[in-house]
């Protein structure tokens, strides 16, 4: 690790022997550390692009929109690090493997139900609702950035395709288990995220209407 080695060592010394799911904590530290590195590189490139664009066109991007764009970049990179480029692997060191189509878990929800009847309740909840939560930001932030181009079907389709891409990359890199349940829960998460965006948009519009009526009086 480049940035989080000392915090990781402190957490490892405190929790490694007492937490059953410590490999997940280690994965999070590694993923966040790599995400920080990629974000700093991207930040320099993004700043250079915006400076060039401003000199050429004079146009400025709203601060809130640029902030959301940065948040979306961090989110996507972190998600890929957690699911595909795990541990010490990077975009340029990961190894390709021959595709084993028999390794794909095609039967929906069977393994998820088994997990709920197993000994680890954490694994059951993380593999189901954890996958939902991880994709909610995609359905929520996307419409804020691309309002005119987003609809429920488009956002849901993007969630489905992005999840399917992750599962396929896990298959060819052998960095995870390719499972149809993950695609189902990820897509559900994107749809719920879009629903939250629609709800927040309606709430915001209602507040502006009330405020306008109050001022008019």
Q: pLDDT tens digits for 139-190?
A: 998 888 877 678 899 999 999 999 999 999 999 988 888 999 999 999 999 9
- ∠ CA 12-17-22, rounded to 5°: 60
Residue 179's beta-bridge partner residues?
A: 105
Query: Band of the pLDDT at 9, cuts 50, 70, 90?
Result: very high
| Separation of alpha carbons 192 and 98, rounded Å | 35
Per the model's pLDDT, the better-predicted residue between 61 and 84 turns out to be 84
Q: What is the pLDDT of residue 90?
A: 64
Q: Is 62 left (phi over 0), alpha (psi -120 to 50) or beta?
A: beta
Q: Which residue in this structure is represented by tokens 């709800």?
A: 199
Comparing 2-6, 79-83, 99-103, 126-130, the range with the smallest average pLDDT is 99-103
Report the range out of 5-19, 36-50, 167-181 with the highest average pLDDT.
Answer: 36-50
C-alpha to C-alpha distance for 15 and 217, rounded to whole angstroms: 61
Closest among 207, 156, 208 to 184, alpha carbons compared:
156
Handedness of CA 121, 123, 128, 130 (dihedral sign): positive
Are the CB atoms for 146 and 154 separated by under 8 Å? no
């Amino acid at each position: 690790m480049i940035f989080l080695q000392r915090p990781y060592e402190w957490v490892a010394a405190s929790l490694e022997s007492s937490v059953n799911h410590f490999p997940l904590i280690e994965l999070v530290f590694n993923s966040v550390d790599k995400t920080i590195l990629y974000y700093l590189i991207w930040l320099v490139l993004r700043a250079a692009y915006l400076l060039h664009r401003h000199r050429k066109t004079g146009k400025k991007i709203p601060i809130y929109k640029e902030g959301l764009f940065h948040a979306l970049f961090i989110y996507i990179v972190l998600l890929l690090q957690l699911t595909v480029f795990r541990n010490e692997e990077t975009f340029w060191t990961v190894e390709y493997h021959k595709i084993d189509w028999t390794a794909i878990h095609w039967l929906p929800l069977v393994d998820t139900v088994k997990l709920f009847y197993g000994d680890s309740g954490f694994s059951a909840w993380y593999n189901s609702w954890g996958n939902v939560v991880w994709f909610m930001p995609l359905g929520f932030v996307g419409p804020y950035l691309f309002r005119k181009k987003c609809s429920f079907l488009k956002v849901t389709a993007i969630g489905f395709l992005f999840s399917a891409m992750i599962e396929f990359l896990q298959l060819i890199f052998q960095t995870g288990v390719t499972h149809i349940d993950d695609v189902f829960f990820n897509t559900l998460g994107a749809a719920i995220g879009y629903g939250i965006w629609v709800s927040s948009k309606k709430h915001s519009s209602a507040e502006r209407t009330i405020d306008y009526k109050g001022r008019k009086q």
